[in-house]
């Protein structure tokens, strides 16, 4: 792609996984509500291509959008307990501003970071915990209706619907990635649900690379690694995008250690320890994206 790629939420966990993996492969334009430290910015990105703005600021977003060929939209409030006023402003209104600006600027491709929480309601009491285990055959494949488990999930389902509208009305290519549980170097520790929906940093970068290069119209795909234990299908991501994930939570023990060795495994990182939980569950309320700055290496079960 010759034209720049606008990445909103560049300082958050998903944004950093993308930039660390494919930061040298594209001309990036980075937008974040907070100034990005140099350590979070690829060397090739100039100061002129770093924008500090809120995604609800129509003028600032339009300025950042000028001349770009694709958008990867990550910014928003990722807390599953986020109150309605926050998800409405940051996730729904903000996404509408960014998508509308993309259409007005003639951008041809839009990658939207949706979330597993858009379909969290399928994880019913009678399905769990068997749903998270290898012998269970239940699969979500992206053709099912949204079934949000919280208001955050509602906002992500709304973003998917907005993408459908702008694809149908303006022929903009749109792919919505329902991101699972992103951690670096190993799956979430002692957490069945997280291991079933693990997305390694390496596979995250590869998936978004395919979103920026594949030929598609409108797609909803699941963003997880090639885990033996999974209840999300990655077949559509394979077929529509050419996604070929390298990692699998089955290659690790339940405690998150690589099987058959003492190295860092195949998580695609440098051995940095990132899973800071002590209770065996997800850090659901920790902010994960740039509008709510946080450590980009802290594990998350939604984007």
Residues in the annotated binding site for NAD(+): 90, 115, 152, 156
Strand (E) positions, 80-125?
109-115
Q: Residue 19: helix, strand or coil by DSSP?
A: helix
Q: Which residues have a catalytic role annotated?
A: 152
d(CA 140, CA 138): 7
Token digits for 138? 């239940």
The secondary structure of 135-187, three-state, reads: CCCCCECCCCCCCCCCHHHHHHHHHHHHHHHHHHHHCCEEEEEEECEEECECC
d(CA 245, CA 158): 27
CB burial readout 193-207, b (16+ within 10 A) else e: bbbbbbbbbbbbbbb
Beta pairing, strands 70-73 & 173-179:
unpaired
d(CA 207, CA 18): 9
In sign, the C-alpha dihedral spanning 247, 192, 287, 62 is: positive
Among left, alpha and beta (phi > 0; psi -120 to 50; other), residue 250 is alpha
Q: Residue 188: helix, strand or coil by DSSP?
A: coil
């Amino acid at each position: 792609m010759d034209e720049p790629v606008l990445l909103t939420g560049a300082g958050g966990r998903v944004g950093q996984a993308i930039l660390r993996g494919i930061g040298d492969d594209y001309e990036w334009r980075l937008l974040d509500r907070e100034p990005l430290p140099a350590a979070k910015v690829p060397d090739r990105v100039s100061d002129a291509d770093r924008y500090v703005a809120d995604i609800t600021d129509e003028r600032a977003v339009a300025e950042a959008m000028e001349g770009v060929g694709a958008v990867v939209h990550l910014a928003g409030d990722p807390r599953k307990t986020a109150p309605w006023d926050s998800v409405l402003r940051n996730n729904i209104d903000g996404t509408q501003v960014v998508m509308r600006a993309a259409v007005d600027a003639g951008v041809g491709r839009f990658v939207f970071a949706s979330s597993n929480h858009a379909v969290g309601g399928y994880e019913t009491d009678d399905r769990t915990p068997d749903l998270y285990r290898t012998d269970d055959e239940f699969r979500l494949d992206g053709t099912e209706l949204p079934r949000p488990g919280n208001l955050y999930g509602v906002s992500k389902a709304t973003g998917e619907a907005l993408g459908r509208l702008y694809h149908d009305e303006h022929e903009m290519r749109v792919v919505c990635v329902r991101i699972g549980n992103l951690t670096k170097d190993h799956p979430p520790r002692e957490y069945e649900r997280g291991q079933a929906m693990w997305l390694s940093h390496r596979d995250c970068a590869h998936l978004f690379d395919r979103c920026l290069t594949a030929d598609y119209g409108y797609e909803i795909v699941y963003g997880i690694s090639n885990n033996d234990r999974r209840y999300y299908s990655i077949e559509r991501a394979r077929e529509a995008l050419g996604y070929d994930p390298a990692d699998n939570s089955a290659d690790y023990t339940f405690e998150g250690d690589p099987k058959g060795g003492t190295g860092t495994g195949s998580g695609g990182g440098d051995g940095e320890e990132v899973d800071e939980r002590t209770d065996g569950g997800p850090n659901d309320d920790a902010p994960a994206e740039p509008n709510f700055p946080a450590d980009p290496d802290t594990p998350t079960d939604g984007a």
